[in-house]
């Protein structure tokens, strides 16, 4: 790893113009191909085409001009002392990327293989994608910096020179002088000789010295397998789990509050880093550990336990939780699934923050997960959720009502009354769904109000819900409804649903009320409204199907109205009865 | 380009493994036997991959090391047996190199293996007879070259001359790199590990090619903790052990970093404690025992979730825990120790014992240190890694002052790469049989006389400190 550091720009006469031009073309193709790596999959034909073109260009260059050497400047690449590439944009510049990593020369050599070129492009591309949107920081780049990756891959035909760390290192020279041991003095050596070689001639006859047999150091097959297993295990270790494990081990044994807090703070930093990366699996382990520390059986001192409690509170502070919205918006579905088990470990204290989060996240899945979290946390305390029912935003209300419904606490019912006539249909629908799941009388009463909802689907849902709940106390309301003029305005579908509900709820008791609607006044002109009502009544009687209902149908079969007669006859036939 | 071509070495190991199968098959079968079908297919395929870059593939013997072209093949737990088999068999036939030329066919390979395997090695001139048999079989590919004793001698000289400068430069640059990091920590400045990483990468390359020179430099002792040469020694010793384990370059680099910064947490300990000549008071011990935890705190504070920093932290945290967790810090729950932690634990203790440091104010001679550590194998130290450590540094570690049966006194200069000859290192003679000082004279203890016996034996290990001799001088 040597470097002359700087090169003088060569005079025009000293360089081959054709070579420099060719080098320029290579760099152009190189930058374009590196970009395609970000856009296309490796097997994409466009990407393949770029690689092939670049490889051909490089091969031709190497054939025509020999090794292609680029001197790396901060924002430029030079070939034969001439600039062949310049890009001042730190995020895009290949030169800058190489430069900050200490690379000062990059060269391609004859014999270059396509695989080597692809590996090189991947190294270049990997680095850039990791730095996307931010300047290269050492902590981000030191693990897999370009030099390290090139060093690991050892590409035979792509060489590099790194900023010299070895040469001219005055400190190192000083160190070497400082540590240069003095040569043994003749009298010291003489003493060794006299005492060791001359003192006991018999010792010279004895072969060897006391050491365990070499056989002892030979690894058995079992030992080899065991160590290989460990090597494999070590390759797969989860670095974050290891880090957490160490920090937890340290905190478990720390008893001095000052140092305890110090470690807690470190854990909190890690925790923050994890949650903003969306790594809730590892973040959850931190919270689980805090709960472990809070377990009285573990015997930690009270003052330390208070510190952990405070830390747990701090871990889920509102500002931090709210800041997670950006993270949540970009998470995959699988990652989102990990958010619930993580959040519930904060317990009810974070409910307000989760509600706030719910107001800002995008994506249905994200909102659903947040609602599920609220459902879990709301089991512990429903009040913070109920208290937010004054929110003016319909989508917030809708989600909160959904959550409250899932919690299923009866206290919810009273708080829902104000939404029965809410202007937003989705809010009313959500209320309806909640009421549907509640068996309490006041829920049923509120449900009946929905039978007058402006929205057809809500009305029908409410009717069906009454039936489902077997809410017989709803019958008078329904009887009244079918008797009103407003009933005439309803669509046939809704009318049928209402009669059907009456039939199911009332059974034989409803027959007299239903039968009234078979009595259609004869008219010279067709009375469509009356006919529809009669048909619905017939259908209701058929659904009841009891002897009394059959009697009513037979009676209807004698009606002067042809419509009623035919409907009754058809129903009797469907019931398998003689007309 | 300088650097160790790991992929090529891996391929070489594969080639050797496949060649061994062929040679063993050839011991019981003749050319044309179906038993060759599968192994020759594999061998030929691997050879084909190597021919992609080179027109010829050479397996050559240099001393006790086998090379594929310029690349030394690692003796690790995985390939040890087969590598040693080839080395021994080549030596028996006095073959120094087998050169496979591009275009070689499967039948030619099998014919060669049969000739090689069935040669009676008890008769004289095995190389010439091998050559004759190949001519009789009209076999011109592969070619074989005779083994040259002098080549081995040359390689010793190479070790101590050509590579010494680079090793020294790397060694002292590493000392400086550690100093920089520790100084930055003391001054609460931003800490960069990049430079350290580069020097460790350079060390990895050197260790993989030839570990003797750097291992020799671990005999440099400083009694001042501030100089950090202990950290560099621990790094070198860890790399030597990691290499035996079969670690790849990346893992070796991480191990090297972990070893280099295993004492990072000491940055805050006052020098008067670190360099204290007398025993520590209980309070001082408490401060000293806090350094593994301090290391973790600092690394995590500086780097957060950062793969290499975490690995370094693991090494630092675990290196005093002991294999049976009897060390410090005393943990509340059981912990599975990492390989890195167990390796650093061994090499740290070895270097500490052999220097006048905290374990003992009077340094142990290397062999005594090993013996002491072996007595604690399975308790303080992982027994398997302990075995590998002995294999890596030899029964008589580099730097051991020894008396030979010839009355010559010397320093162990290089361990024998063959663990089965771990007690037969190479010696740099410092005093001849008459007690006169020698200049650059080396003896290989594995050298045999005409009767098959060894020319030289170690009859005694001398405690260099007793005579106040600093053997480090012989490695600079």
Confidence at residue B226, expressed as pLDDT on a 0 to 100 scale: 63
CA dist A368 and A384 (Å) reads: 19
Same domain, B126 and B218: no
Contact yes or no for A273 and B470 at CB 8 A: no
Task: Give A-chain residues touching B193 at CB under 8 angstroms.
Answer: 138, 142
Task: Give B-chain residues touching A304 at CB under 8 angstroms.
Answer: none
Same domain, B332 and B313: yes
Confidence at residue A52, expressed as pLDDT on a 0 to 100 scale: 93
Q: Mapping DSSP to helix (H, G, I), strand (E, B) and coil, where does residue A329 land?
A: helix
Confidence at residue A164, expressed as pLDDT on a 0 to 100 scale: 56
Of B113, B147, B181, the domain-final residue: B147
Contact yes or no for A217 and B459 at CB 8 A: no
Chain A nearest-CA residue for B298 = A266
CA dihedral B170, B310, B303, A275 (to 10 degrees): 160
Place of tokens 């004492």: B263
User: Could you give the C-alpha distances from A204 to B308, B370, B460, in angstroms and in order?
Assistant: 51, 23, 8
Contact yes or no for B310 and A243 at CB 8 A: yes
Q: How far is A268 from chain B (nearest CA, A)?
A: 11
Q: Quick one: A531 exposed, middle or buried, by C-beta within 10 A (0-12, 13-18, 19+)?
A: middle
User: Could you give the C-alpha distances from B203 to A6, A173, A221, B352, B398, in angstroms and in order?
Assistant: 26, 18, 30, 21, 18
Which residues are registered as beta bridge partners of B59?
B68, B98
Average pLDDT over residues A316-320: 94
Name every residue whose Cβ is closer than 8 Å to that of residue A319 and which is 6 or more positions away in sequence.
none
Chain B nearest-CA residue for A235 = B251
Radius of gyration (Cα) for chain B, nearest Å? 24
A111 interface with B at CB cutoff 8 Å: yes
Residue B235: which domain range?
Answer: 151-392
CA dist A559 and A567 (Å) reads: 10
pLDDT tens digits, residue range A340-385?
999 999 999 999 999 999 999 988 999 999 999 999 999 999 999 9
For the stretch A209-216, contacts whose Cβ atoms lie closer than 8 Å and that sit 24 or more positions apart, written own/partner, are A209/B367, A209/B458, A209/B459, A209/B460, A209/B461, A211/B367, A211/B371, A211/B395, A211/B396, A211/B423, A212/B374, A212/B395, A214/B395, A214/B419, A214/B420, A214/B421, A214/B422, A214/B423, A216/B387
Q: How far is A239 from chain B (nearest CA, A)?
A: 6
Place of tokens 């805090």: A290
Same domain, B258 and B283: yes
Contact yes or no for A252 and B331 at CB 8 A: yes
**Mean pLDDT, 10 residues at a time, chain B of 476 residues:** 77 94 93 91 94 90 86 83 90 94 94 94 92 94 85 49 78 90 90 88 90 89 74 96 92 96 93 82 91 95 90 96 96 95 97 72 84 94 95 90 92 86 90 89 87 87 87 86
Task: Give A-chain residues touching B390 at CB under 8 angstroms.
Answer: 217
Place of tokens 């550990």: A289
Closest among B72, B77, B51 to B61, alpha carbons compared: B72
Same domain, B156 and B142: no
Q: How far is B268 from chain A (nearest CA, A)?
A: 15
Q: How far is A381 from chain B (nearest CA, A)?
A: 35
Confidence at residue B423, expressed as pLDDT on a 0 to 100 scale: 87
Asked whether A392 and A423 are in contact (CB, 8 A), the reply is no
Structure tokens at B474: 């012989």
Contact yes or no for B470 and A262 at CB 8 A: no
Of A1, A197, A245, the CB nearest to B403: A197
CA dist B55 and B242 (Å) reads: 33
Task: Give A-chain residues touching B395 at CB under 8 angstroms.
Answer: 211-212, 214, 217
Task: Give B-chain residues touching A204 at CB under 8 angstroms.
Answer: 403, 405, 407, 459
Name every residue whose Cβ is closer than 8 Å to that of residue A431 and which is 6 or more positions away in sequence.
A401, A416, A419, A420, A422, A446
pLDDT tens digits, residue range B52-83?
878 899 999 987 789 999 888 988 887 888 99
For B439, phi then psi, to 5°, come to -120, 115
Chain A, residues 267-326, CB within 8 A of chain B, namely 269-270, 273-274
Contact yes or no for B470 and A184 at CB 8 A: yes
Confidence at residue A216, expressed as pLDDT on a 0 to 100 scale: 73
Same domain, B209 and B342: yes
Of B115, B147, B179, the domain-final residue: B147
Chain B nearest-CA residue for A198 = B407
Contact yes or no for B173 and A172 at CB 8 A: yes
Structure tokens at B466: 């007793």
A390-402 in b/e form (b: 16+ CB < 10 A) is: eeeebebbbbbbb
Chain A nearest-CA residue for B193 = A142
Of B195, B300, B314, the CB nearest to A270: B300
Contact yes or no for A151 and B173 at CB 8 A: no
Task: Give B-chain residues touching A223 at CB under 8 angstroms.
Answer: 384, 387
Same domain, B217 and B263: yes
Contact yes or no for B390 and A148 at CB 8 A: no
Q: How far is A259 from chain B (nearest CA, A)?
A: 10
Per domain, the residue ranges of chain A are 12-162, 244-315
Task: Give A-chain residues touching B423 at CB under 8 angstroms.
Answer: 208, 211, 214
Q: Which of B208, B225, B384 to mutate to test the interface with A (most CBs of A within 10 A)?
A: B384
Task: Give A-chain residues touching B437 at CB under 8 angstroms.
Answer: 186, 189
Contact yes or no for B201 and A207 at CB 8 A: no
**CATH number of domain containing B354:** 1.10.3210.10
Same domain, B426 and B358: no
Task: Give B-chain residues touching A138 at CB under 8 angstroms.
Answer: 192-194
Name every residue whose Cβ is closer than 8 Å to that of residue B339 and which is 6 or more positions away in sequence.
A230, A231, A234, B245, B385
Radius of gyration (Cα) for chain A, nearest Å? 42
Same domain, B177 and B326: yes
Q: Mapping DSSP to helix (H, G, I), strand (E, B) and coil, where does residue A140 land?
A: helix
Contact yes or no for A269 and B301 at CB 8 A: yes
Q: How far is B118 from chain A (nearest CA, A)?
A: 28
Confidence at residue A132, expressed as pLDDT on a 0 to 100 scale: 38
pLDDT tens digits, residue range A380-423?
999 999 999 999 999 999 999 999 999 999 999 999 999 999 99
SS3 for chain B, per residue? CCCCCHHHHHHHHHHHHHHHHHHHHHHHCCCCCHHHHHHHHHHHHHHHHHHCCCCEEEEEEECCEEEECCEECCCCCCCHHHHHHHHHHHHHCCEEEEEEECCCCHHHHHHHHHHHHHCCCCCCCHHHHHHHHHHHCCCCCCEEEECCHHHHHHHHHHHHHHHHHHHHHHHHHHHHHHHHHHHHHHCCCCCCCHHHHHHHHHHHHHHHHCCHHHHHHCCCCCCCHHHCHHHHHHHHHHHHHHHHHCCCHHHHHHHHHHHHCCCHHHHHCCHHHHCCCCCCCHHHHHHHHCHHHHHHHHHHHHHCCCHHHHHHHHHHHHCCCCCCCCCCCCCCCCCCCCHHHHHHHHHHHHHHHHCCCCCCCCCCCHHHHHHHHHHCECCCECHHHHHHHHHHHCCCCCCCEEEECCCCEEEEEECCCCHHHCCCCEEEEEECCCCCEEEEEEEECCCECCCCCECCCEEEEECHHHHCCCHHHHHC
Helix (H) or strand (E) holding A159: strand A158-162
Average pLDDT over residues A30-56: 86
Q: How far is B246 from chain A (nearest CA, A)?
A: 9
Same domain, B124 and B163: no
Q: How many helices (H) and strands (E) does chain A have?
A: 33, 5
Confidence at residue B228, expressed as pLDDT on a 0 to 100 scale: 87
Judge whether B282 lies within some domain: yes
Same domain, B455 and B430: yes
For chains A and B, count residue pairs whose Cβ atoms are closer than 8 Å: 264
pLDDT tens digits, residue range B128-150?
999 999 999 999 999 999 987 65
Same domain, B360 and B408: no
Task: Give B-chain residues touching A184 at CB under 8 angstroms.
Answer: 430, 467, 469-470, 473
Chain B nearest-CA residue for A188 = B467
User: Could you give the C-alpha distances from B180 to A136, B167, B174, B312, in angstroms and in order?
Assistant: 21, 20, 10, 17
Percent of chain A having pLDDT more than 70?
Answer: 87
Task: Give A-chain residues touching B374 at CB under 8 angstroms.
Answer: 212
Task: Give B-chain residues touching A139 at CB under 8 angstroms.
Answer: 302-304, 306, 309
Of A152, A153, A239, the CB nearest to B307: A239
Confidence at residue B400, expressed as pLDDT on a 0 to 100 scale: 93
A177 interface with B at CB cutoff 8 Å: no
Of B359, B392, B425, the domain-final residue: B392
Name every residue whose Cβ is closer than 8 Å to that of residue B389 and which is 6 or more positions away in sequence.
B237, B241, B244, B346, B347, B350
Chain A, residues 181-210, CB within 8 A of chain B, namely 181-184, 186, 188-198, 203-209
Judge whether B1 lies within some domain: no
CA dihedral B9, B12, B13, B19 (to 10 degrees): -170
Closest among A192, A94, A167 to B460, alpha carbons compared: A192
Chain A, residues 113-142, CB within 8 A of chain B, namely 113, 138-139, 142
Closest among B354, B415, B349 to B382, alpha carbons compared: B349
Q: Which of B12, B432, B435, B475 to mutate to test the interface with A (most CBs of A within 10 A)?
A: B435
Confidence at residue A369, expressed as pLDDT on a 0 to 100 scale: 95
- Give the lowest-confidence range in A125-139, A244-258, A348-362: A125-139
Contact yes or no for B6 and A152 at CB 8 A: yes
Which residues are registered as beta bridge partners of A161?
A105
Contact yes or no for B332 and A172 at CB 8 A: no
CA dist A167 and B198 (Å) reads: 13
Judge whether B83 lies within some domain: yes
Confidence check: pLDDT of A127 > 60: no
Same domain, B125 and B223: no
Contact yes or no for B251 and A235 at CB 8 A: yes
Helices (H), A136-254: 138-141, 146-153, 170-178, 186-192, 201-205, 221-235, 239-253
Average pLDDT over residues A151-165: 82
CA dist A503 and A515 (Å) reads: 11
Lateral strand order in the sheet of B143-146:
B71-72, B65-68, B56-62, B95-101, B143-146
Structure tokens at A333: 């579905």
Contact yes or no for B395 and A152 at CB 8 A: no
pTM to 2 decimal places: 0.83
**Strand B95-101 relative to strand B56-62: parallel, antiparallel, unpaired?**
antiparallel
Structural domain count, chain B: 3
Task: Give B-chain residues touching A162 at CB under 8 angstroms.
Answer: 198
Contact yes or no for A214 and B419 at CB 8 A: yes
Task: Give A-chain residues touching B84 at CB under 8 angstroms.
Answer: none
């Amino acid at each position: 790893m040597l470097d002359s550091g700087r090169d003088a720009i060569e005079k025009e006469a000293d360089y081959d113009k054709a070579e420099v031009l060719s080098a320029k073309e290579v760099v152009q193709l190189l930058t374009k191909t590196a970009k395609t790596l970000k856009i296309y999959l490796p097997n994409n034909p466009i990407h393949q085409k770029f690689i092939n073109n670049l490889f051909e260009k490089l091969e031709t260059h190497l054939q025509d001009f020999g090794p292609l050497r680029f001197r790396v400047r901060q924002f430029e690449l030079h070939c034969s002392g001439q600039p062949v590439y310049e890009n001042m944009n730190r995020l895009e510049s290949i030169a800058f990327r190489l430069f900050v990593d200490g690379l000062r020369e990059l060269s391609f050599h004859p014999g270059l293989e396509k695989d080597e070129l692809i590996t090189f492009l991947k190294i270049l591309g990997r680095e850039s994608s990791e730095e996307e949107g931010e300047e290269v920081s050492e902590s981000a780049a030191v693990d897999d910096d370009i030099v390290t990756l090139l060093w690991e891959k050892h590409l035979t035909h792509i060489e590099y020179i790194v900023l010299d760390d070895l040469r001219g290192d005055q400190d190192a020279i000083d160190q070497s002088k400082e540590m240069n041991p003095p040569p043994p003095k003749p009298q010291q050596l003489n003493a060794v000789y006299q005492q060791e070689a001359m003192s006991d001639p018999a010792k010279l006859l004895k072969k060897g010295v006391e050491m365990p047999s070499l056989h002892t150091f030979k690894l058995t097959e079992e030992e080899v397998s065991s160590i290989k297993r460990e090597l494999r295990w070590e390759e797969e270790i989860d670095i974050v789990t290891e880090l957490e494990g160490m920090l937890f081990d340290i905190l478990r044994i720390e008893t001095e509050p000052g140092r305890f807090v110090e470690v807690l703070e470190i854990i909190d930093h890690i925790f923050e880093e994890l949650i903003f990366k969306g790594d809730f699996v590892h973040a959850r382990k931190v919270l689980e550990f805090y709960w472990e520390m809070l377990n009285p059986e573990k015997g930690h001192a009270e003052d330390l336990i208070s510190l952990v409690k405070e830390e747990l509170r701090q871990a889920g502070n509102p500002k931090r939780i709210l800041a997670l919205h950006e993270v949540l918006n970009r998470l995959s579905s699988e990652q989102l699934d990990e958010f619930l088990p993580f959040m519930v470990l904060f317990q009810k204290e974070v409910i307000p923050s989760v509600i706030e989060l719910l107001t800002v996240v995008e994506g249905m899945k994200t909102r659903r997960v947040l609602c599920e979290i609220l459902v879990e946390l709301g089991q512990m305390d429903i009040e913070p959720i109920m208290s937010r029912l004054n929110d003016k935003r319909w989508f917030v209300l809708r989600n909160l009502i959904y959550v409250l419904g899932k919690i299923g606490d009866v206290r919810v019912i009273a708080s829902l009354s104000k939404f029965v006539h809410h202007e937003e249909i989705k809010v009313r629908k959500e209320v309806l769904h909640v009421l549907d799941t509640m068996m309490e009388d006041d829920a049923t009463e509120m449900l009946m109000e929905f039978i007058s909802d402006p929205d057809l689907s809500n009305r029908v849902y409410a009717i069906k819900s009454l039936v489902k709940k077997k809410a017989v106390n709803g019958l008078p309301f329904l009887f009244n409804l079918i008797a009103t003029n407003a009933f005439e305005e309803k669509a046939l579908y809704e009318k049928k649903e209402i009669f059907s509900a009456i039939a199911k709820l009332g059974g034989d008791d409803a027959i007299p009320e239903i039968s009234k609607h078979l009595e259609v006044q004869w008219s010279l002109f067709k009375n469509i409204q009356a006919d529809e009502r009669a048909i619905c009544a017939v259908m209701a009687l058929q659904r009841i199907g009891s002897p009394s209902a059959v009697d009513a149908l037979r009676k209807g079969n004698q009606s002067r109205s042809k419509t009623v007669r035919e409907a009754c006859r058809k129903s009797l036939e469907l019931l398998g009865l003689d007309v | 380009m300088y650097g160790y071509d790991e992929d090529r070495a891996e391929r070489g190991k594969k080639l050797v493994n496949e060649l061994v199968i062929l040679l063993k098959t050839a011991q019981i079968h003749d050319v044309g036997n179906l038993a060759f079908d599968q192994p020759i297919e594999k061998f030929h395929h691997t050879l084909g991959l190597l021919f992609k870059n080179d027109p010829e593939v050479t397996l050559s013997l240099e001393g006790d090391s086998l090379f594929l072209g310029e690349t030394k093949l690692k003796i690790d737990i995985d390939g040890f047996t087969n590598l040693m088999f080839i080395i021994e068999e080549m030596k028996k036939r006095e073959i120094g190199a087998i050169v496979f030329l591009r275009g070689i066919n499967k039948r030619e390979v099998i014919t060669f293996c049969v000739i090689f395997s069935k040669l009676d090695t008890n008769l004289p001139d095995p190389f010439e007879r091998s050559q004759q048999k190949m001519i009789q079989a009209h076999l011109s590919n592969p070619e074989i070259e005779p083994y040259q004793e002098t080549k081995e001698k040359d390689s010793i000289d190479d070790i101590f001359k050509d590579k010494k400068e680079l090793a020294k430069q790397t060694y002292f640059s590493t000392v400086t790199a550690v100093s920089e990091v520790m100084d930055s920590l003391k001054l609460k400045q931003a800490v960069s590990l990049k430079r350290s990483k580069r020097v460790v990468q350079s060390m990895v390359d050197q260790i993989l090619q030839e570990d003797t020179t750097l291992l020799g430099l671990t005999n440099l002792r400083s009694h001042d903790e501030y100089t950090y040469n202990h950290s560099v020694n621990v790094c070198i010793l860890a790399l030597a052990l990691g290499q035996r384990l079969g670690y790849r370059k990346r893992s070796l680099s991480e191990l090297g970093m972990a070893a280099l910064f295993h004492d990072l947490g000491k940055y805050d300990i006052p020098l008067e404690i670190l360099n204290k000549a007398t025993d520590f008071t209980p309070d001082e011990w408490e401060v000293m025992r806090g350094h593994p935890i301090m290391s973790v705190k600092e690394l995590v504070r500086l780097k957060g979730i950062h793969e290499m920093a975490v690995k370094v932290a693991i090494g630092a945290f675990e290196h005093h825990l002991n294999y049976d967790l009897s060390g410090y810090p005393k943990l509340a729950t059981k912990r599975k120790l990492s390989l890195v932690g167990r390796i650093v634990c061994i090499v740290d203790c070895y270097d500490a014992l052999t220097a006048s440091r905290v374990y003992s104010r009077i340094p142990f001679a290397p062999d005594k240190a090993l013996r002491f550590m072996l007595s604690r194998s399975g308790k303080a130290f992982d027994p398997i890694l302990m075995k590998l450590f002995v294999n890596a540094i030899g029964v008589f570690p580099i730097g051991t002052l020894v008396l030979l049966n010839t009355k010559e006194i010397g320093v162990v200069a290089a361990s024998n790469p063959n663990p089965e000859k771990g007690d037969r290192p190479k010696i740099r003679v410092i005093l001849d049989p008459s007690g006169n000082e020698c200049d650059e004279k080396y003896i290989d203890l594995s050298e045999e006389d005409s009767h098959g016996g060894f020319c030289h034996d170690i009859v005694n290990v001398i405690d260099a400190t007793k005579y106040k001799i600093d053997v480090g001088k012989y490695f600079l």
